[in-house]
A and B are shown apart, each in its own frame.
Chain A
């Protein structure tokens, strides 16, 4: 009972902030007045805030920024032993540095390393935390560019990436993080530069309690749907997530931006009901998934959970089964990948749900920005499917969905399944699946989960698998890179193509895209597409394990 109130209270909180916070974000991304700090940033970057960019220039700016970030972070990790606050830790090895740099630049935060034994405080702060912020901003910026594409009338310019990046970071992410950091610190999350404290336990053993600037990283880790833990144990660690209410707050922060972006979309296209429709699709899929995850975990199927009497392996006492399952669902419905419990030890079907959530394309509500643009692609596909049924030219918000738009949307949809399924197949073909800890179907689940998580830029794991080998670091690094930037380029191309169009007036044949019928259709199309793509793979892994 308390568990369901926990879920309902989160729903109520998200509903309460949808309008005010969405409206605030709308003003941030459409505002033309820049404050002194922003003008200083523009000057330092050397950019004219008034200058608009075509989709091509916008895309090249995103790519340039990401490429420079990747290289910078890689070098940073490679020389960390020579830097301040390295805590005596050695330089990060080449393949782990590559994997980690890609991981944080792509908003994935897949961690092939253990935080407390690999990363010094300075790299955590000035390397990883920075990418937590800007990779989240990049996602939101691209989503905003797509919204501008829908809203534009015969235009070629989609806004300015550098302005979007700056304003989103400084006006949306930073202020909330400042508040959240303070709250976390009061709750017990550590924030120091200490190399740790040597403690003698009550029975006389030695224990080295770690320190670090954790609270400041924790805030953006959740808000930016990044998910990379300061420590290996991530949000299960008492210094990252000390209480039952910080657990609630972390889930809320994870869902806050992705669920409020449809409001920005509605405002941008001048019809709030279009935003409600998209938010409704997200909510239906999310609530369904959370309910299933909680139900499967509490049912406790499988030999070990039945022997135990509850699926408590890998879970903390304070969150219990429900508080863990809700977090697991939220972290994979978005592109977060933070964990407060270890999914590998979940029941077979309970552990399948995080995978399914990611396979949905992380659209319900998805990552910061990436969730909304993923969902809008699905809406475009739905409009097209509906158009085929009634034999009319499909249009969405007055924009014709022609051959070019459909090609871009279809390519977008195909990228991650190809990466996931081909990656899993190659891992098995090359024998690299043998680093999985568990045997049988669960071993396949570990490999499938790894590629699903990387290609969808999630970052959570069935963590039993050993992935700090050269092959795994390279392969998952490529999956993360392609899984982030190919869809992102396709989205910007679509935005450019939509912006050029003169909107056609609504006619009798226009499918209304704000009514329950359309909401149901988008949800249906999403589930059907994902089921068709991934059911065979799931049947070999979690379904085989859970139904045998």
Chain B
């Protein structure tokens, strides 16, 4: 008996799939697992200095004798990689009495990190759109007719005690109340630039989380910022620290690919070893 052609086609499909599964799904990867065991080809458990670490104590405070890595959305946990995924206009915090409910906008995260790093390194941690107390400088501006008309009310949405400005266009700025969504109430969200320099002292990579959550590297500028603290904490010369930074910096491949970057783990290992 001849099997119907539609069935024959599916049988052929199944056979093809099985053949390819053996060939591409089993033989191909396993051959390379074998090749990887040839000395010099590949590190068996991976090059561990490729995976970033956080150099903080059990409470999350920086261990000052170490260079610090970038912020990580996953806390440098290789079993939970990824990014914050917060957008460029993530500027309003969710304020709540319940810490489970509360969440920081990306802007406030950036401001808080900048302030903390400024303190740690003894430099100016201010940034555009950030308040002096390290949150996003953002107002909800209420107009009489929605988007137009005279301003009736202004709220500093990320601050519950003292607003970063006292008045906005003649209207007194009030602090925010926990649990209130001022955008839903009709407030126009207005970030305030402030007068911080456009090129802040604390570098960009120091205040932003990477895509992987495992970024092993920091920019040479961020390493440079940390160098005096490391020299002081370890009682070694600044020149020696610079030398080690230099040794652990990967330049652009072929001079034009990517950006120069300093491997923090290698650098800290070198410091411990010297």
Contact = CB atoms under 8 A, between A and B. Distances in A.
Given A126-B25, A238-B214, A304-B106, A69 B17 contact: yes
Interface in A16-58: 41, 44-47
Interface in B110-152: 110-111, 127-130, 136
Interface string B16-44: 11111100111011101101100001111
Given A64-B12, A233-B214, A237-B212, A215 B32 contact: yes
Given A207-B77, A341-B211, A463-B82, A125 B25 contact: yes
Contact of A348 (B13, B35, B89): B89
Interface in B241-269: 250, 252-259, 261, 265, 268-269
A403 interface: no
Interface stretch (A196-204, A274-282, A496-504): A196-204
B163 interface: no
Interface stretch (B167-175, B201-209, B224-232): B201-209
Contact of A308 (B26, B58, B204, B219): B204
A46 B15 contact: yes
A438 B84 CA distance: 11
Interface string B176-198: 00000001000000010100001
A213 B33 contact: yes
B101 interface: no
B236 interface: no
A72 interface: yes
A402 to B, nearest CB: 30
A239 interface: yes
B86 A245 contact: no
A312 interface: yes
B46 A462 contact: no
A129 B12 contact: no
B196 to A, nearest CB: 9
B11 interface: yes
Most buried by A among B208, B217, B269: B208
B107 interface: yes
Given A68-B10, A202-B66, A310 B253 contact: no
Interface in B85-117: 85-92, 106-107, 110-111
A201 B53 contact: yes
B17 A233 contact: no
A108 interface: no
A304 B55 contact: no
Contacts of B183: 439-440
Contacts of A245: 253-254, 257-258
Contacts of A125: 25-26, 29-30
B79 interface: yes
A129 B25 contact: yes
A420 B19 CA distance: 36
B199 interface: yes
Contacts of B88: 301-305, 311, 345-348, 351, 442, 545
Most buried by A among B14, B210, B258: B258
Contact of B45 (A211, A315, A462): A211
A320 B259 contact: yes
Nearest to A46: B12
Contacts of B213: 233
Given A209-B78, A239-B51, A438-B86, A314 B211 contact: yes
B268 to A, nearest CB: 6
A272 interface: no
Contact of B87 (A126, A196, A199, A438): A438
Contact of B86 (A64, A186, A345): A345
Contacts of B198: 306, 309
B160 interface: no
A202 B36 CA distance: 28
A186 B41 contact: yes
A438 B81 CA distance: 20
Contact of A442 (B15, B90, B257): B90
B161 interface: no
A351 B58 CA distance: 37
A247 interface: yes
B12 A162 contact: yes
A68 B14 contact: yes
B83 A244 contact: no
A463 B111 contact: no
Contacts of A9: 256
Contact of B33 (A72, A177, A193, A239): A193
Contact of A197 (B25, B48, B128): B48
A302 B76 contact: no
B10 A64 contact: yes
Contact of A232 (B14, B81, B92): B81
Contacts of B78: 116, 196, 207-210
A306 B36 contact: no
Contacts of B80: 114, 116-117, 232
14 contacts: A64-B12, A191-B42, A210-B79, A211-B45, A215-B32, A215-B42, A236-B211, A247-B257, A304-B86, A304-B91, A306-B198, A314-B85, A319-B259, A348-B89
Given A208-B79, A233-B211, 17 more contacts: A9-B256, A162-B16, A191-B35, A196-B79, A203-B57, A215-B42, A216-B29, A233-B213, A236-B210, A304-B87, A304-B110, A304-B129, A306-B129, A307-B130, A319-B258, A323-B258, A545-B88
List the 7 closest pairs (A to B, CB-CB), nearest first. A244-B258, A302-B88, A464-B85, A126-B25, A320-B259, A236-B211, A233-B81
